[in-house]
Structures are given as structure tokens and as C-alpha cells.
């Protein structure tokens, strides 16, 4: 199939995280991580894209991309620089940004936690400390008080599995611990409980103001895990990795059910604790060799001969279809693709990447899976965590010396696709050399 279309009510947009684009904030764990020289390419988050001072310019770029929705983060450390002390000026800045988005016809989806912690929370052990639950609820309560009248859609926590794996198991993110399996599961339980309580809190506060249409979810990083040789040990490793990396969060945050090794039972009661399931999809892992708990139960490889991006991640479009089918079959809830994109500095294959992944999303929808939104990662090249500025995921190219933004060819393709909610004959002919 060369052409395909999406439902009229389907929403296309882009996603970003606050720290990765804003600049100017020194009160968070990633600023400290940069100061310690932990970023692979030696760059720093202190300026990033300077989005904090360029909101109007960047919203204009979103309009040029024909975005209908935008997933944005708000930086906890800006809003609550000290425990229970709130920065109204920062909060007003976010409110103004969201009002500008709404005026531009772009529907906001606001993320409350995306990898970053205020330094005061980090020094208390962050999510390894159960006090983080109440701190997060206090933060959420304040933010919803300030924004709840204009924001209906929320992501409580982004990729808790990546945050914890990278920070407490691989040592790549702050605080840089390695092999802390018990710490990983302890913090995972705290993040699950925080989401469950935040879900109920957001709904309660908006309902008290007679506001309807509230949607709260989690952005889960989901992957396909497959055995290389099909041995029993490899198959066991795949199951254990999937359970530890994503299963505990899907069950816990969706149904409120704690499963081993996080815990057991329903601490907030039985129910459904999301209004949509957010899927961040990038790649799959091939699992080889013997059972190895020291590397989260197995060695992860890229399939031999498979296409890869600049970070050597396999490009596997069918995975987005498989995950959507599996998640819907299990939970029977609407799905948002809260992130999907690729690292491609020269823009050599991003257009094809988008085309192929959206083809598989179209297929899932045609088979009855209620995928309702697609957020491309990301709007523009930014501070890509451990890789700094060297990893280029943007539809828009950013010159980090001048901060000039230029829409890439893949961005123009995406803009036309968003406008039509389809790959039409004319769009296909125009870009077919990239497919």
C-alpha cells in the first residue's frame, strides 16, 4: 500500500521534555550531571534550545508543521525550587505558553515528570525514598490548581523504566548507580504508587470545578524482546526482561495491581487508573545467551543485518503495530503514541521511518485498535540526555551555536501528512524517493 489515511478525529503532533529544550535552570539533577562532565559529547543543558525565551517562535514552527497537539513537559525544579515553596513567575510562564498553544489551535498534553528531579529531592534519594510520593502529589496539586482550568490532558510520569534502569542499574543517568536491582524495584513501586494517587487527584480536582473531558495517563517506553536462537533460557530471559522492564509498570499504573517483584495486591483499590495508554516506541532487542541477572536478565543485541539509526538502534516499524495490538488486547483502552522517532543527523531516513511506522499504525487502526494520537519525537534537535547535542531526533534542525531553527525535509513531509491526515497520492509522489 502506497497511500493510507487516518480518522478525522486522529491528532498528530510532536513531543518534547522541558529540560531538553528550555535552558536556564540550575536547580535540577541533570544540570548537576552536566557539571560533573557526564555527557558523552561534553555539551551542557544550561542553554539547550533556549525555548524558555523563544516560545512564540517555536509555536510558530509547530503551526508550520500543522501540529494539532503538542506534548510538553513542565520542569518541577523551576516550579518548586524548595519543598512546598512555589515559583509563581515560572508557573505563569507555563500558563502563558499553554494559552499561546491553545490560541494557535494546538491541544496541549502536559507531562509532570520526565526524568528530572529538583536537587532538593535528588539529595533525599529521589524516588528511592517513599517521601517522593507525597512530594510529587504536592507538586501535582499545585500545578493542577494553576493549570487545571485550561489543561485537560496529562501524563503523570514519562518512561519510569528508562529513568530507573539508566539511573540505578546502568549508571548512565543521575545518580549513576550500577546494578542496584533492589533499588530499581523499590523506586519502581514508589513511582507506581505516585501515579495511582496523582491520577485520582487530577480527576478529583477537575471534577470539583465541574470540568469534564479529563484524560490522565503514563508514557510507557515499550520494546519488543525476542530470543536470538530460540533456546529455553533465551525465552525465559525475554519474559523476565519484559516483566521487569515494562510489565510491572503497565500492570501497576493501568490496573493498580502490584506484581512480583514490586509487591502484590491493589494498594489503591481495584480499578482502571489511566484514561489512555501512552506508548513510546523506538526499537526491539534481540536477547542472546544464558540467563544473566546482572544485565537485567539477558544480553541485548541488534538483529544481524537489520537497518539501524545513528545510535545503532534497530529500525523495526512492525514493532509499533505488534505492541499496539498486544496492549489493546490486554487492557482494552485507547492508545496514544506519546513518542516515536529516530536519531538521524543527516535526515537520510527519517521520512521513511515516519512513513513506515505510520503505515503500521494505520494497519492497527484498521484492525480495530483505538490508536487516537501520534506524537513525533521530537519537534527539534535538543539536549538528548546522555548523548547531549550529538543525537539528532528533530523534525527541525537546530544550530546550537546560533540557535537557528530550520525545518528538515522530513519535517515538511510530516507537515503535509498532518494537514491531510493521510499520505495522499501527491504526497507519496513528492517524497517517494525517500521511501
Question: Which residues constitute the domain of residue 229?
Answer: 4-434
- Grid coordinates standing for 50? 533556549
CA 148 to chain centre: 21
Beta-carbon contacts of residue 351 (< 8 Å; ≥ 6 apart): 409, 410, 413, 431, 434, 435
Q: pLDDT per position in the chain (435 positions), as tens?
A: 699 999 999 999 999 999 999 999 999 999 999 999 999 999 999 999 999 999 999 999 999 999 999 999 999 999 999 999 999 999 999 999 999 999 999 999 999 999 999 999 999 999 999 999 999 999 999 999 999 999 999 999 999 999 999 999 999 999 999 988 899 999 999 999 999 999 999 999 999 999 999 999 999 999 999 999 999 989 988 999 999 999 999 999 999 999 999 999 999 999 999 999 999 999 999 998 765 555 556 688 999 999 999 999 999 999 999 999 999 999 999 999 999 999 999 999 999 999 999 999 999 999 999 999 999 999 999 999 999 999 999 999 999 999 999 999 999 999 999 999 999 999 999 999 999
Beta bridge partners of 28: 118
Q: Please answer whether residues 79 and 90 qualify as being in contact, where contact means their C-beta atoms are separated by less than 8 angstroms.
A: yes
- Active-site choice (159, 314, 384, 416): 159
Q: Please answer whether residues 129 and 42 qualify as being in contact, where contact means their C-beta atoms are separated by less than 8 angstroms.
A: no
CATH code assigned at 429? 3.20.20.80
Compute the half-sphere exposure of residue 421: CA atoms within 13 Å on the CB side of its CA.
10
- Please tell me the chain's helix, strand, coil percentages from 3-state DSSP, rounded to the nearest 5: 45, 20, 35
Beta-carbon contacts of residue 204 (< 8 Å; ≥ 6 apart): none
What secondary structure letter does DSSP report for 302? P
For 238, the enclosing helix (H) or strand (E) is helix 232-242
Q: Please answer whether residues 173 and 32 qualify as being in contact, where contact means their C-beta atoms are separated by less than 8 angstroms.
A: no
Strand positions, DSSP E, 10-152: 11-15, 69-73, 107-113
Residues 375, 278: Cα–Cα separation, whole Å: 10
- Active-site choice (22, 339, 384, 416): 339
99 given a catalytic annotation: no
Total domain count, the chain: 1
Residues 231, 296: Cα–Cα separation, whole Å: 18
Question: Is the whole model's pTM more than 0.85, yes or no?
Answer: yes
Q: Please answer whether residues 33 and 383 qualify as being in contact, where contact means their C-beta atoms are separated by less than 8 angstroms.
A: no
For 5, the enclosing helix (H) or strand (E) is strand 4-5
Q: Please answer whether residues 329 and 369 qualify as being in contact, where contact means their C-beta atoms are separated by less than 8 angstroms.
A: no
159 given a catalytic annotation: yes
Amino acid at each position: 500500500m502506497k497511500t493510507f489515511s487516518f480518522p478525522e478525529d486522529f491528532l498528530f503532533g510532536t513531543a518534547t521534555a522541558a529540560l531538553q529544550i528550555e535552558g536556564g535552570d540550575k536547580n535540577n539533577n541533570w544540570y548537576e550531571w552536566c557539571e560533573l562532565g557526564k555527557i558523552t559529547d561534553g555539551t551542557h543543558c544550561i542553554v539547550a534550545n533556549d525555548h524558555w525565551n523563544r516560545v512564540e517562535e517555536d509555536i510558530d514552527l509547530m503551526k508550520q508543521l500543522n501540529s494539532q497537539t503538542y506534548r510538553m513537559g513542565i520542569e518541577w525544579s523551576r516550579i518548586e525550587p524548595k519543598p512546598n515553596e512555589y515559583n509563581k513567575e515560572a508557573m505563569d510562564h507555563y500558563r502563558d505558553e499553554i494559552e499561546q498553544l491553545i490560541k494557535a489551535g494546538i491541544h496541549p498534553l502536559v507531562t509532570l515528570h520526565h526524568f528530572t528531579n529538583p536537587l532538593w529531592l535528588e539529595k533525599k534519594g529521589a524516588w528511592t525514598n517513599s517521601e517522593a510520593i507525597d512530594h510529587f502529589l504536592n507538586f501535582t496539586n499545585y500545578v493542577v490548581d494553576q493549570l487545571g482550568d485550561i489543561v485537560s490532558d496529562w501524563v503523570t510520569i514519562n518512561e519510569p523504566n528508562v529513568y530507573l534502569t539508566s539511573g540505578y542499574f546502568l549508571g548512565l543517568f543521575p545518580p549513576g548507580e550500577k546494578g542496584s536491582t533492589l533499588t530499581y524495584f523499590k523506586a519502581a513501586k514508589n513511582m507506581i504508587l505516585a501515579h495511582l494517587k496523582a491520577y485520582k487527584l487530577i480527576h478529583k480536582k477537575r471534577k470539583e470545578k465541574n470540568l469534564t473531558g479529563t484524560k490522565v495517563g503514563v508514557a510507557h517506553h515499550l520494546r519488543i524482546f525476542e530470543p536470538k536462537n530460540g533456546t529455553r533460557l533465551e525465552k525465559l530471559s525475554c519474559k523476565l526482561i519484559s516483566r521487569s522492564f515494562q510489565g510491572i509498570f503497565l500492570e501497576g499504573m493501568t490496573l493498580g495491581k502490584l506484581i512480583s517483584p514490586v509487591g502484590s495486591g491493589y494498594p489503591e483499590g481495584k480499578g482502571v487508573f489511566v484514561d489512555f495508554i501512552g506508548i513510546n516506541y523506538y526499537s526491539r532487542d534481540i536477547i542472546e545467551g544464558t540467563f544473566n541477572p546482572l544485565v537485567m536478565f539477558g544480553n541485548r543485541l541488534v538483529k544481524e543485518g537489520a537497518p539501524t539509526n545513528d545510535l545503532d538502534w534497530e529500525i523495526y516499524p512492525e514493532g509499533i503495530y505488534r505492541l499496539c495490538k498486544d496492549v489493546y488486547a490486554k487492557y482494552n483502552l485507547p492508545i496514544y503514541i506519546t513518542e516515536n522517532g529516530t536519531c538521524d543527523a543527516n535526515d537520510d531516513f527519517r521520512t521513511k521511518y515516519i512513513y513506515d511506522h505510520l503505515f503500521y499504525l494505520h494497519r492497527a487502526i484498521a484492525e480495530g485498535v483505538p490508536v487516537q494520537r501520534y506524537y513525533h519525537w521530537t519537534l527539534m534537535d535538543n539536549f538528548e540526555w546522555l548523548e547531549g547535542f550529538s543525537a539528532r531526533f528533530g523534525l527541525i534542525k537546530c544550530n546550537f551555536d546560533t540557535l537557528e531553527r530550520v525545518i528538515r525535509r522530513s519535517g515538511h513531509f510530516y507537515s503535509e501528512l498532518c494537514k491531510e491526515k493521510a499520505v495522499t497520492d501527491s504526497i507519496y509522489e513528492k517524497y517517494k524517493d525517500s521511501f
